[in-house]
Amino acid sequence: MKQLVLLLTSLFVLTAVLCGCTQQQEKNQSYVSAAELSQEETDILKLVGAQEPILFDFTTFLGKSFSIQTMELENGSWSEPRTYSSSLDEDTFPFHGRIAIKQDEETGAILSLAVQGPHGFTHSSPTPDENAPTYSSHSTALLSSRVEIEPEKPIALQVYYGYANGQASHTSYIPDYALEHPEEIDSDYAQIVVITFSETPLS
C-alpha cells in the first residue's frame, strides 16, 4: 500500500511538471515580431504604385482576444486609446496573424489598419483629420526584436514622431521605452501603436 501511494505521488508530480513545461513552452512560442514583404509582394506594390505598409507578425497559444490601440502624446502622457479588438479562437491555436499599418508620413495619421488571421482578414480605415498639422521632419521607431506575449501586457509596435522644426536635434525612443516614458519625448507630436493579448473574451 505504501509503495502504491509513493507511485501515485510520483505520477502526480511528474504530471504537474510536464504540464508546467507545456505551458511554459506555449508561452515561449507566443510572440510578436517585425515582418517583411516578400520580393514578389514588394514588386506588385511598386507596380500599382501603392505605399508599402509597416508589417508585424504574431503567433499565440494564449488569450481569448487581442486589441490594437493607438494613442497620442498629450502633455507628457499617452491619451485615451482608440481601439480595434478581435477574438481569438482556441480551436485555431497556434493562431498566426499579420498586422499591416499604413500611415501618413507628414501628419502621422493612421490611414489603414488590417489584421490577417487563419480565417481571412479585417480592415479598418479611420477618417483622417483634415485639419491635422503636417511636420517638416518626422521619424518612426519600430519594434525590432521578437517579443514574447504575456496576457494583459501591452507590446509597443511603433511610434511616430513629428517635428515642426526640422533643423533641431531630437531623440526618437524605441517603442517599448516610449510607452513607459512618454514624459521624456520631446517631439511636437507623437503617436504610438500597441497590441495587447487578453484572457478576457470580447463581450
Cell numbers at 93, concatenated = 491555436
pLDDT at position 163 is 92
What is the percent of the chain with per-residue pLDDT over 90, rounded to a whole number?
61
Confidence grade of residue 136 (pLDDT, cut at 50, 70, 90): confident
**3-state per-residue secondary structure call for 149-162:** CCCCCCEEEEEEEE
Provide the pLDDT for residue 139: 93
Q: Is residue 194 predicted with pLDDT exceeding 50? A: yes
* H helix runs in the chain, sequence order: 2-28, 39-48, 175-180
Query: What number is the average pLDDT over the span 118-140?
Result: 85
CB-based burial of residue 192 (10 Å sphere; 0-12 exposed, 13-18 middle, 19+ buried)?
Answer: buried
Taking CA atoms, 186 is separated from 60, 101, 197, in Å, by: 35, 24, 30
Question: How do residues 10-54 score in pLDDT, each as one tens digit?
Answer: 444 444 444 444 445 555 699 999 998 888 888 888 887 778 899
Calculate the average pLDDT of the chain.
85
Instruction: Write down the domain spans for the chain.
Output: 2-198
